[in-house]
Amino acid sequence: MIRGCIFDLDGVIVDTARYHYLAWRKLANDLGFDFSEENNERLKGVSRMDSLEILLEVGGLSLPDPQKLALSAAKNSDYLTYIEKMTQADVLPGVTRFLDVLRSAGMKIALGTASKNALTILHRIGLSNAFDSIVDGNRVTKAKPNPEVFLIAADDLGLEPCNCLVFEDAVAGIEAAHRAGMKCIGIGRPEILRKADHVIPDFINANLELVNF
Ligand code: G6P
Ligand code: MG
């Protein structure tokens, strides 16, 4: 029986996955190489510094730590220019309604994300008070696919992992949910999210039946 739902942020609640991609691609281009959307799939759900490592590997570059720090700061500042323009209208279709449906049914709701910008984003899109627990990149030490983020969220909600359901758009996030002992609904394309227990394209038709599938 599912009693709690844990939502990833980027690519699930808001389409920031697109902004992350644009900012990473700009960084790659500035460093002299291209960065495809296919390569970008590997960054979804992955922390900022781990994402940079993957990007540098794609570009065949090995850089000293201080330069890596500067590059990740530059990417984040570029990313924040997109975030600053976000409003309530940027919440992905059906999300706010689905959160209301879950809350009315007595479901506990948590956010489980690797992002350190989560509070800023929630504030901009008007969902600061929509979650019983917020576990973001400032509270976790191990990035997805490590299950830490979802286990902390379940603990916050006072629930066993088997009573929690995760919503994720990232391959690494699906693995993290499974390693936490939770079922996972993928948001996106089934051919990419093959390991999810169920995949939906978006939340437009999401209802309570989806939770206890
Ligand atoms: C999410 C996104 C990743 C991003 C990570 C860190 O998991 O899916 O693409 O790298 O958060 O985000 P941040 O906002 O802290 O750079
Ligand atoms: Mg995501």
pLDDT tens, residue by residue, 74-111:
999 999 999 999 999 999 999 999 999 999 999 999 99
Rg from Cα positions in the chain: 17
pLDDT of res. 39: 94
Does the Cβ of 46 fall within 6 Å of ligand 1? yes
Which sign does the torsion angle of CA 181, 104, 190, 119 carry? negative
Regions of the chain with pLDDT less than 70:
none
Whether the CA torsion 50, 10, 109, 160 is positive or negative: it is negative
Pocket lining: 40 vs ligand 1, CB cutoff 6 Å: no
Q: Which residues are catalytic?
A: 8, 10
Q: Quote the pLDDT of residue 199.
A: 97
> Is the torsion defined by CA of 149, 161, 180, 199 positive or negative?
negative
Task: Give the whole-angstrom CA distance, residue 6 versus residue 134.
Answer: 9
Ligand 1 atom showing the smallest separation from residue 170 Cα: 8
Look at ligand 1, atom 14, and give the residue with the nearest C-alpha.
Answer: 115
* Distance from the alpha carbon of residue 105 to the mean position of ligand 1, in angstroms: 30
pLDDT of the residue at 45: 85
CA of residue 70 to ligand 2 center, whole Å: 24
- pLDDT of res. 93: 97
Is 20 near ligand 1, meaning CB less than 6 Å away? yes
Q: What are phi and psi of 170, to 5 degrees?
A: -115, 140
The closest alpha carbon to 196, from 213, 180, 173, belongs to 173
Atom number in ligand 1 closest to CA 121: 14
**Is the CB of residue 176 below 6 angstroms from any atom belonging to ligand 1?**
no
* Rounded distance from Cα 213 to ligand 1 centre (Å): 29
DSSP annotation of 45 reads T
Q: Is 85 exposed, middle or buried (0-12, 13-18, 19+ CB in 10 A)?
A: exposed
User: Ligand nearest 149 Cα, by number?
Assistant: 1
Q: What is the mean pLDDT of the chain?
A: 96
pLDDT for the residue 143: 87
Query: pTM of whole model > 0.85?
Result: yes
75 lines ligand 1 (CB under 6 A): no
Residue nearest to atom 8 of ligand 1 (CA): 45
Strand partners for 110: 6, 133
Regarding the beta carbon of 114 and ligand 1, being less than 6 Å apart is answered yes
